[in-house]
Amino acid sequence: MPPLFCQTQLFLWPAAFRSQPAHITINTHKGTVSKLPSLWFLPQHLFYDTLSHTPLTPTTSTTESNNPSIIVRRTDRTSYKQTSRVEHTLIDIMQRSSPAPRGPRNSSPSIRGRGGIQKRKAGPTRLDRDGDLVMDAAAAGEKRRSGRGHVGSDTPSRGQGNGRGRGGQGRAASQKLLQAQAAIVRGLNAKLPQANVLESRITSTDSALQIDGLSSSKAASNPDGGVESLLAFLERKASAHDPKSKPVKIKKSLKKGGSVIITASPDDVLAIQKLNGYSFAGADLSITACEPPSSRLEKPKDEVSVSAQETKERLRGVLASRYDANLKLLNLAALAQDPGLIQMGVFDGSTTTSKIFPALMVVCDGLFKTRSEKREAIVSVTLADNDLVDVKDVAALAQTFPDIKNLDLSRNKIAQLSSLDAWGTRFRDLVTLILTGNPIEPSLPAIKSDLVKKYPHLEILNGVQFRTPEEIASTIEATKYPIPLQTPDFRDVGQVGENFIRQFVALYDSNRSALLTNFYDDESVLSLAINMAAPRNPKQILPIAPWAPYLKYSRNLVRVNNLPTQMSRLHRGSQAINTVWSALPATRHPDLQTQPEKYLIECHSLPGLVDPNGQSARGVDGLIITMHGEFEEENDKPEQALRSFSRTFVLGPGGPGGPAIRVISDMMTLRAWGPLALPRVAAVGGVPLEAAPAVTEQQQQEAFAQQLVLRTGLTLQYAILCLTETGWDLEKAFVAFEANRHKLPTEAFANSNFQ
């Protein structure tokens, strides 16, 4: 039987199509050849959520972005000299949280990093601060309460200070500002109880007891020498003494010769001491107070610790006097003139900040447990009036406070942008930068783009807004997507891709066997792979439904390495595919028409596919379609129903007796759900289908001509001829073609370029 010409040539593109430039460069690529603009019309509002730059915290945004001059005002050092009650609270935290450090010895601030300090938080020297701690905590509580009450009365004086410093702020405006600041302080205070708990856990000083008599008890013959049962006994009995209080807990124990040394909190030690003379397993216990075991070990170092700690305390004092809780500002301006630092003699012989600064930063680091705590507490830093030629001496700032939003470098000696290189790529969140009074100032307009590159969120320079948030957003987008996101590149031919996708989405949900009949044959190959490691959007994380239903089909070749499994997870032919599809959970895909933003679908032609009729040795053309989207899965946990998927299809002409267009290859990848990265701008020229302008007659005729080309293999020219003769009736034209095909010259048919 001679092969049906129209089938073998079904996928040969019309010559006219080929001669068109198939490629458009990035720059000119605005309107891709898309037969489906409407489907991929993307409402603009959808993108602002995911792409807007990190918002300022609500409190700071009111303060900072509306008052560009605020930073300048803060550089007035006089306003920090007064120590408000709120600041007292801060000082309290700073002081209480002091772990006993070895710290900078004899004013030599050589320590770096937090490890050393933290390690000693549980160290022995905290003994020295035993009594202080309790009092301190109570006092702090007292101050905290009063601090909260006094914010209102305290702040006006600050307002005056501001007025002196800058003179430009209206009283009413600063009043409004102060209210905002009061809210910040309340927020800060609200965090304190938690800090207290942490403090007490870390610094509360344990006492030790020596217990004798275990060796003569019956328990001494236990495998562990009876320690375990002795401890249990002590805890039980001591707790029984005062049933109302919380149970006594022994924290550490150490067997030393015939005695056992235990450590517990002071309260518990008191309770345990009452057990002196109790009888345990036939022996009388003798309980006496002693030094905690570890403290004896480190005793010789106490001398150093004390002096180092003193240095640290003084630095802490300096920092406390320079911190403004209201503005969340750490004022490190004019360090060389700081009376506290001068008193400590740190500038003896040299006036640089290089020595003291890292030490200050180490102390700062020790005050915060997490980066987010730091981010919360310190939003702004001023380094004004420090004679800085570059930032090498203050490089530690970038490590300690990488997330600050406002930075003041006024009146230093910075001459070029490279002077800031010591900070590397930190301060990515910087919104405000002040370089007033530096040699660099006149050249700032020229280096705007470099500045922006360094600080992508920079909005206010020297108190002047120089970029709009929109500009910032688009710049950030360019950074996030170095290969810009364009609207889907859907280069369909004769609507083959569109028709397939429409049917696929609908039928995969409702009738998979009909889908198989329409598009799959015995040569179709299907496989699926799970990418369990796929990244997720940290802002939109949903629980993941178990992968179990898909797992035994997953052909993720990163993981599946043995050939038999690789073979068995490749499904060839409608029947095999049907077996897989009937086992996979039922799905619901978003509607293509009403939720186009849930999909990204692209396609283009693909040469060199198998000619199912064996006519063309060099193969026939087909279509490769990629579809990214999501579906809801039918399972028993509706809140875990969403999955993200990508599917790649290769479509080609079908063989005799099969579907006219068949799926040659169908590959699915499944991922945990995440929103698609969509292009920010709405599709250029994209209009909703409903609003599409009426199809002109010419367009209609072109569409008919292309369909006829596809069905008959005629050239576009002959197809148009044929249609003209049959009054542009597609069916009549096809019938006429069938009847006259043998009479047509060979040049009437579009042959493959490759034949």
Partner 1 sequence: MADISEDQEVKVAIETAETFVNTYYVTISKPHAIKEIPDFYVKPNPESPLKPDISLNGNLISSPSDLEAVFEKQPPKTHYEVQSFDCHVLNRNYNVGVPDNVLEMNKHGRKMSIMVTVSGSVRYGDGADIQGFMDSLVLVPNWEAYGKPHKGKRRWLVQSQTFRLVL
Query: Cβ of residue 664: shortest distance to partner 1, in angstroms?
Result: 6
Question: Under 8 Å CB-to-CB from 270, ≥6 apart: which residues?
Answer: none
> Does residue 153 touch partner 1 according to CB under 8 A?
no
Query: Cβ of residue 29: shortest distance to partner 1, in angstroms?
Result: 6
Please pick, from the candidates 679, 723, 734, 750, the single residue that binds partner 1 as defined by CB under 8 A: 679
CB nearer to partner 1: give 208 or 750: 750
Please pick, from the candidates 172, 464, 483, 691, the single residue that binds partner 1 as defined by CB under 8 A: 483
- Quick one: which H or E segment has residue 574? helix 574-583
What's the half-sphere exposure (Cβ side, CA atoms, 13 Å) at 327?
A: 30
Please pick, from the candidates 3, 5, 29, 65, the single residue that binds partner 1 as defined by CB under 8 A: 29
Query: Cβ of residue 423: shortest distance to partner 1, in angstroms?
Result: 14
Cα gap 580→573, rounded to integer Å: 11
CB nearer to partner 1: give 3 or 619: 619
Cα gap 666→685, rounded to integer Å: 31
Residue 600 and residue 678 in contact, taking contact as beta carbons nearer than 8 Å: yes
Cα gap 743→70, rounded to integer Å: 87
Cα gap 711→701, rounded to integer Å: 15
CB nearer to partner 1: give 420 or 733: 420
Q: Three-state SS for 150?
A: helix
Please pick, from the candidates 52, 169, 229, 486, the single residue that binds partner 1 as defined by CB under 8 A: 486
Of the candidates 753, 744, 651, 604, the one whose C-alpha atom is nearest the C-alpha of residue 5 is 744
CB nearer to partner 1: give 83 or 537: 537
Of the candidates 382, 378, 347, the one whose C-alpha atom is nearest the C-alpha of residue 364 is 378
Q: Three-state SS for 664?
A: strand
- Quick one: which H or E segment has residue 93? helix 85-96
Query: Cβ of residue 624: shortest distance to partner 1, in angstroms?
Result: 6
The interface with partner 1 within residues 653-672 (CB under 8 A) comprises 664-665, 667, 669, 671
Cα gap 60→641, rounded to integer Å: 38
Long-range residue pairs from 269-272, CB within 8 A, at least 24 positions apart, any chain: 269/206, 269/207, 269/208, 269/209, 271/238, 271/239, 271/241, 271/242, 272/209, 272/234, 272/238, 272/248
Please pick, from the candidates 196, 239, 646, 751, the single residue that binds partner 1 as defined by CB under 8 A: 646
Please pick, from the candidates 163, 340, 675, 688, the single residue that binds partner 1 as defined by CB under 8 A: 675
CB nearer to partner 1: give 527 or 574: 527
CB nearer to partner 1: give 19 or 698: 19
The interface with partner 1 within residues 524-583 (CB under 8 A) comprises 525, 527-538, 555-559, 563, 566-567, 570
Q: Which residue has the tokens 């002693």?
A: 290
The interface with partner 1 within residues 258-297 (CB under 8 A) comprises none
Which amino acid belongs to residue 492?
D
- Torsion-angle region of residue 465: left (phi > 0), alpha (psi -120 to 50) or beta? beta
Sign of the CA dihedral running 108, 112, 114, 115: negative
Write out the two tokens for 668.
């699915």
> Does residue 488 touch partner 1 according to CB under 8 A?
yes
Which amino acid belongs to residue 500?
F
CB nearer to partner 1: give 285 or 431: 431
Q: Which residue has the tokens 């009594």?
A: 131
Query: Cβ of residue 31: shortest distance to partner 1, in angstroms?
Result: 12
Q: Which residue has the tokens 């275990």?
A: 214
Q: Which residue has the tokens 């579809």?
A: 627
The interface with partner 1 within residues 625-644 (CB under 8 A) comprises 626, 628, 644
Q: Three-state SS for 680?
A: coil
Phi, psi of 144 (to 5 degrees): -60, -45
Please pick, from the candidates 1, 26, 691, 739, the single residue that binds partner 1 as defined by CB under 8 A: 26
The interface with partner 1 within residues 343-372 (CB under 8 A) comprises none
CB nearer to partner 1: give 71 or 529: 529
Burial class (CB in 10 A: 0-12, 13-18, 19+), 256: exposed
CB nearer to partner 1: give 4 or 567: 567
Please pick, from the candidates 133, 485, 642, 744, the single residue that binds partner 1 as defined by CB under 8 A: 485
Query: Cβ of residue 499: shortest distance to partner 1, in angstroms?
Result: 19
Please pick, from the candidates 677, 703, 721, 744, the single residue that binds partner 1 as defined by CB under 8 A: 677
Q: Which stretch binds partner 1 (CB under 8 A): 18-26, 155-163, 238-246, 404-412?
A: 18-26
Phi, psi of 287 (to 5 degrees): -120, 120
Q: Which stretch binds partner 1 (CB under 8 A): 366-374, 523-531, 587-595, 730-738?
A: 523-531
CB nearer to partner 1: give 18 or 77: 18
Beta-bridge mates of residue 651: 623, 663
Which amino acid belongs to residue 464?
V
CB nearer to partner 1: give 40 or 368: 40
Cα gap 556→486, rounded to integer Å: 28
Q: Three-state SS for 161?
A: helix
Cα gap 385→394, rounded to integer Å: 13
CB nearer to partner 1: give 197 or 478: 478
Cα gap 611→653, rounded to integer Å: 7
The interface with partner 1 within residues 440-479 (CB under 8 A) comprises 479
CB nearer to partner 1: give 370 or 698: 370
Write out the two tokens for 270.
């008191």
Beta-bridge mates of residue 630: 644
Q: How many residues does the chain have?
A: 755
Query: Cβ of residue 552: shortest distance to partner 1, in angstroms?
Result: 15
CB nearer to partner 1: give 292 or 488: 488
Burial class (CB in 10 A: 0-12, 13-18, 19+), 297: exposed
Please pick, from the candidates 480, 552, 588, 637, the single residue that binds partner 1 as defined by CB under 8 A: 480
CB nearer to partner 1: give 411 or 628: 628
CB nearer to partner 1: give 40 or 737: 40
Question: Under 8 Å CB-to-CB from 480, ≥6 apart: which residues?
Answer: 51
> Does residue 25 touch partner 1 according to CB under 8 A?
yes
CB nearer to partner 1: give 484 or 638: 484
Q: Which stretch binds partner 1 (CB under 8 A): 250-258, 493-501, 675-683, 702-710?
A: 675-683
CB nearer to partner 1: give 79 or 752: 752
> Does residue 496 touch partner 1 according to CB under 8 A?
no
Sign of the CA dihedral running 461, 467, 468, 470: negative
**If binding means CB under 8 A, how many residues of this protein chain bind partner 1?**
73
Compose the 583-622 pattern: x for residues touching partner 1 by CB under 8 A, - for all others.
Answer: -----------------x-x-xxxxxxx------xxx---
The interface with partner 1 within residues 381-440 (CB under 8 A) comprises 425, 428
Please pick, from the candidates 22, 541, 583, 692, the single residue that binds partner 1 as defined by CB under 8 A: 22
Query: Cβ of residue 685: shortest distance to partner 1, in angstroms?
Result: 14
- Quick one: which H or E segment has residue 454? helix 448-454
- Quick one: which H or E segment has residue 357? helix 356-367
The interface with partner 1 within residues 209-248 (CB under 8 A) comprises none
Query: Cβ of residue 30: shortest distance to partner 1, in angstroms?
Result: 11
Q: Which stretch binds partner 1 (CB under 8 A): 24-32, 71-79, 315-323, 725-733?
A: 24-32
> Does residue 85 touch partner 1 according to CB under 8 A?
no
